[in-house]
Amino acid sequence: MGEKMSTSLNTRWQAWLATRAPRERLVLQAAAWLLLAALIWSLAIAPAWRVLQAAPAKQAALLPQLHQMRAMATEAKTLQQSESARPPGWSERLRTLESTTQRLLKDQAQLSPAGEQVTVTLRDATPTALAQWLQETRVNAHLRPTRVQLERSGAAGAWRWQGTLVLGDPNGAGT
């Protein structure tokens, strides 16, 4: 049915075009070709051209992320290799945790050791300081959060965290 309609339109177009003067026919055909070329450009070529032109800028923007991911992968490998070595004892871990907490969170955190776990109470900790503290606690003190109960407060861009974290060794090693 669609083919029949297409043929009918083509036939009508040809008949209508035949009634025009040769010069007018040439102008109409040139206009049709120009319209077809503009359509092909706008639907097929222009989008691909824009993507091609934007590619170097996007690649440059993603390059720092690639470097960061490679650094994190290297750190992960180092951690995996160091975890196979004997981790420090509990008292050394606790001293490292206290030092890291005092340096990064200052009076925004209070430590309460209990057995081989430490409960950390946070008051208005900044996201940056908390993230760095968690990173250093994991790497240097070989402790990871086993339970977390945090709440975010403040306005966007000025968030603060409060609540509790229980830190311990999920593997039970290093005691």
Q: What is the pLDDT of residues 126-152, one digit of tens each?
A: 889 999 999 988 888 888 999 999 998
Span 4-14, pLDDT tens digits: 777 888 888 88
pLDDT at 173: 52
As a whole number of angstroms, the distance between CA 134 and CA 144 comes to: 8
The closest of 78, 119, 79 to 101, measured between CA atoms, is 119
Structure confidence at residue 89 (pLDDT): 83
Q: What is the pLDDT of residue 1?
A: 60
Contacts 24+ apart (CB under 8 A), 133-136: 133/100, 133/101, 133/104, 133/105, 133/109, 136/100, 136/104
Residue at 137: amino acid letter? T
* pLDDT on residue 2: 65
Specify the pLDDT at position 111. 92
Mean pLDDT by 10 residues, the chain (175 residues): 76 86 89 93 91 93 93 86 70 89 90 90 90 89 90 84 88 54
Where do the domains of the chain lie? 1-85, 90-168
Taking the mean position of all CA atoms in its chain, how far away is CA 76? 19
Residue in the block written with tokens 């977390």:
148
CATH architecture entry for 90-168: 2-Layer Sandwich (3.30)
